[in-house]
């Protein structure tokens, strides 16, 4: 290593002195477009970026929650009552399997190009979904939408981290998470209110114009020199494509898709796809460590204990969280008998808590770089307590206000946890790997949604099927089939049948939330295993110093 080479540490800029960051091209911009030499952009461009990014994050989140209050209508239209779990799983599997690639592509083709292209893909997927006439075409549209959404969320984090200073990082990420959680809450509420008046198809095609406009606005607002994090920005597209790790991309995507598809099965979990998934993911890791010249995931991250346990803890923690987001509207529809619009509004409390928790810790605590180990462990410990309370109150006779309070506290702990864990992860990993580290944490949060939909949805369906089959006669098999895919149908029943259906949903919800609480307790130990020492706290060999600089 040259004696003049500067080693990256946590005090260095997020991506270090690389040739194609915003700093590198400041000399090509007029003074009016630059605030200073730190890489920040003008107020006007920043405002456009905030609005456009917020719109795309809103759409990405809306596509997760709007199915909770519209699935009954869609299932009836497509005759897919027993396949409703795939409505959300297909979208989230696509998000999870392609998120790692978007972080890598943003290095080669710039965050500006990647997020604009992702917005267009999201809009195309929503349009195709709206025209679906069969279950298969509906799922195809959802998959394409998920591919676009993967780039939106991952690259959004990269953009805001690059354009915000260390002292504002926590607040900015808190606002970004708030946009996501507003989308989750509003998506379910608005979709439930509009589905009967405009139809479910309009809820999808209306997303396309907003996605296209937001993507175009970002392309124009983000400076042209905010480009590849590595390599020569003047290289041809084919030259950049030739450097991609195609074997790694293929094995990673196949491994994730097979694993999540197997876990999404509502009846039984097939073993063969899981075996193939393990083989594909093992091949991916070996390829990244020993064969790939330019790996998708840097070896320093693959060997990082903090990275591994943060990702694992995030998956389990957010799986438990998604059980709340996916199934509390089901509780209000089936057990409480609320209308679809009102059922979706139950998410306002928990997502309001999520937004407040992220913003509060970002504004008042995450105002420095360094370890947030104790804070992470504390909020992880508080989270399962709220889940146990939600499980016990998921009945027809429970106090609605107490239930809403617990949902708010649940969201508050999660919002704080997401901000703390990201800040702590940036402390645990080299600054030169933060592009990929942030895309990985976004990927594993996507995994959590997919796992929450797949495993949680499968568990809930199995518990509900068992409970309903015990309570209803064999001659009511068709009614049981419809109840499994349409919680809104419970309110249409009368007398004993309605009481049986409500009791069945109560049993399934209680079992699901208690299982989520148990998982959350385990994740406290996982998060505690991340450690508190960052890369700058550990002694470095000459070889590791060279790896960080590169």
Whether 181 contacts 354, CB under 8 Å: yes
The pLDDT assigned to 138 comes to 94
CB contact set of 384 (below 8 Å; sequence gap of 6+): 320, 517, 518, 520, 521, 524
Query: How many helical (H) and strand (E) elements, i.e. helices and strands, does the chain have?
Result: 21, 0
The pLDDT assigned to 4 comes to 47
Distance CA 91, CA 288 (A): 27
The pLDDT assigned to 65 comes to 77
As given in the structure block, the two tokens for residue 321 are 């969280």
The pLDDT assigned to 94 comes to 85
Neighbouring CB atoms inside 10 A of 462's CB total: 15
Q: What is the pTM of this model?
A: 0.68
How far is residue 60 CA from its own chain's centroid? 9
**Sign of the C-alpha dihedral computed for residues 450, 455, 458 and 459 taken in this order:** negative
The pLDDT assigned to 216 comes to 93
* Polymer length in residues for the chain: 550
- Residue 124 exposure: Cα atoms within 13 Å on the Cβ side: 11
Provide DSSP, 145-214.
HHHHHHHHHHHHHHHHHHHS-TTTHHHHHHHHHHHHHHHHHHHHHHHHHHHHHH-HHHHHHTHHHHHHHH
Neighbouring CB atoms inside 10 A of 17's CB total: 12
The pLDDT assigned to 178 comes to 66
Q: Choose among 207, 184, 216: nearest CA to 48.
A: 216
Q: Choose among 391, 329, 379: nearest CA to 354.
A: 379
pLDDT digits 0-9 by tens, 451-465:
777 678 778 888 898
- Cα–Cα–Cα angle for 339, 343, 348, nearest 5°? 145
The pLDDT assigned to 439 comes to 63
The pLDDT assigned to 25 comes to 33
**Sign of the C-alpha dihedral computed for residues 466, 472, 478 and 484 taken in this order:** negative
The pLDDT assigned to 9 comes to 44
Print pLDDT tens along the chain (550 aa).
444 444 444 333 333 333 333 333 333 333 333 334 444 567 788 788 888 888 888 888 888 778 877 887 888 888 887 777 788 878 878 887 787 778 778 777 888 888 999 999 999 999 999 999 999 999 999 999 999 988 887 788 777 766 666 666 656 666 666 667 677 767 777 887 888 888 899 999 999 999 999 999 999 888 776 654 444 456 666 777 777 788 888 898 888 888 877 876 666 778 898 999 999 989 988 888 888 877 777 666 667 788 888 888 988 998 899 889 888 988 998 999 888 777 778 888 888 898 889 888 888 887 777 788 999 999 999 999 999 999 999 999 999 999 999 999 999 999 899 888 888 888 887 776 666 677 667 667 766 776 777 678 778 888 898 899 888 888 888 888 888 877 888 888 888 899 999 999 999 999 999 999 999 999 999 999 988 776 655 554 444 444 444 4
The pLDDT assigned to 50 comes to 81
As given in the structure block, the two tokens for residue 362 are 């970002």
| Residue matched to tokens 């997760």 | 64
Domain 23-231+305-533: give its CATH architecture. Answer: Up-down Bundle (1.20)
Whether 457 contacts 264, CB under 8 Å: yes
DSSP class of residue 42 equals -
The pLDDT assigned to 384 comes to 96
The pLDDT assigned to 14 comes to 35
What are the φ/ψ torsions at residue 236 (nearest 5 degrees)? -70, 160
- Cα–Cα–Cα angle for 310, 315, 317, nearest 5°? 90
The pLDDT assigned to 222 comes to 83
The pLDDT assigned to 100 comes to 74
Q: What b/e sequence results for 88-103 when a residue is b if at least 16 CB atoms lie within 10 Å of its CB, and e otherwise?
A: bbbbbbbbbbbbbbbb
Domain boundary assignment for the chain: 23-231+305-533, 245-293
Distance CA 61, CA 181 (A): 7
Q: Choose among 455, 509, 505, 470: nearest CA to 484.
A: 505
| Residue matched to tokens 């396949």 | 83
Q: Which helix (H) or strand (E) covers residue 514, if one does?
A: helix 495-528
Give whole-number Cα distances, 294 to 86, 196, 245, 464, in Å.
Answer: 35, 51, 6, 47
Angle between helices 434-451 and 305-334 (to 10 degrees): 30
The pLDDT assigned to 159 comes to 77
Distance CA 196, CA 242 (A): 50
Distance CA 145, CA 337 (A): 31
Provide DSSP, 218-230.
HHHHS-TTS--SS
């Amino acid at each position: 290593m040259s004696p003049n080479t500067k080693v990256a540490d946590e005090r260095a800029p997020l991506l270090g002195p690389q040739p194609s960051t915003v700093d590198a091209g400041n000399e090509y911009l007029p003074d009016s477009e630059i605030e200073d030499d730190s890489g920040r952009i003008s107020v006007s461009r920043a405002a456009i970026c905030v609005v456009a990014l917020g719109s795309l994050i809103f759409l990405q989140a809306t596509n997760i929650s709007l199915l909770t209050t519209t699935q009954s209508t869609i299932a009836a239209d497509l005759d897919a009552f027993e396949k409703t779990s795939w409505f959300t799983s297909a979208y989230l599997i696509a998000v999870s399997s392609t998120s790692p690639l978007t972080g890598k592509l943003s290095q080669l083709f710039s965050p500006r190009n990647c997020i604009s292209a992702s917005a267009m893909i999201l809009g195309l997927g929503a349009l195709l979904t709206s025209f679906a006439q069969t279950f298969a075409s509906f799922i195809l549209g959802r998959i394409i939408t998920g591919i676009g959404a993967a780039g939106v969320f991952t690259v959004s984090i990269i953009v805001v981290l690059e354009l915000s200073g260390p002292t504002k990082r926590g607040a900015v990420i808190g606002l970004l998470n708030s946009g996501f959680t507003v989308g989750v809450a509003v998506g379910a509420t608005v979709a439930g209110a509009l589905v009967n008046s405009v139809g479910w198809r309009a809820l999808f095609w209306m997303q396309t114009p907003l996605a296209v406009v937001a993507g175009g606005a970002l392309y124009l607002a983000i400076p042209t020199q905010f480009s590849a994090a590595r390599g020569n920005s003047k290289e041809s597209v084919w030259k950049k494509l030739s450097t991609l790790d195609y074997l790694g991309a293929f094995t990673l995507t196949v491994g994730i898709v097979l694993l999540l598809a197997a876990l999404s099965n509502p009846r039984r979990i097939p073993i063969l796809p899981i075996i193939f998934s393990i083989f594909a993911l093992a091949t991916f890791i070996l390829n990244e460590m020993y064969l790939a010249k330019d790996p998708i995931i840097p070896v320093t991250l693959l060997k990082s204990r903090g990275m591994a346990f943060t990702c694992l803890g995030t998956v389990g923690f957010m799986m438990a969280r998604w059980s709340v987001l996916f199934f509390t509207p089901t509780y209000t529809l089936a057990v409480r008998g609320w209308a679809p619009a009102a059922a979706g509004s139950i998410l306002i409390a928990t997502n309001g808590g999520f937004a407040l928790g992220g913003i509060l810790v970002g504004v008042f605590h995450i105002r420095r770089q360094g370890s947030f180990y104790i804070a992470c462990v504390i909020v992880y410990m508080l989270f399962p307590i709220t889940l146990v309370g939600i499980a016990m109150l998921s009945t027809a006779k429970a106090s609605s206000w107490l239930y809403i309070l617990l949902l708010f506290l649940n969201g508050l702990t999660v919002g704080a946890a997401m901000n703390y864990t990201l800040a702590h992860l940036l402390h645990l990993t080299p600054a030169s790997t933060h592009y990929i580290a942030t895309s990985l944490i976004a990927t594993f949060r996507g995994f959590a949604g997919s796992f929450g939909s797949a495993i949680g949805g499968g568990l809930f369906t199995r518990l509900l099927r068992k409970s309903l089959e015990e309570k209803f006669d064999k001659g009511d098999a068709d009614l049981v089939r419809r109840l499994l895919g349409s919680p809104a149908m419970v309110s249409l029943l009368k007398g004993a049948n309605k009481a049986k259906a409500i009791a069945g949903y109560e049993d399934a919800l209680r079992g699901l939330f208690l299982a989520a609480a148990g998982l959350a307790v385990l994740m406290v130990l996982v998060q505690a295993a991340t450690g508190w020492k960052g890369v700058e706290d550990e002694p470095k060999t000459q070889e590791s110093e060279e790896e960080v600089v590169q």
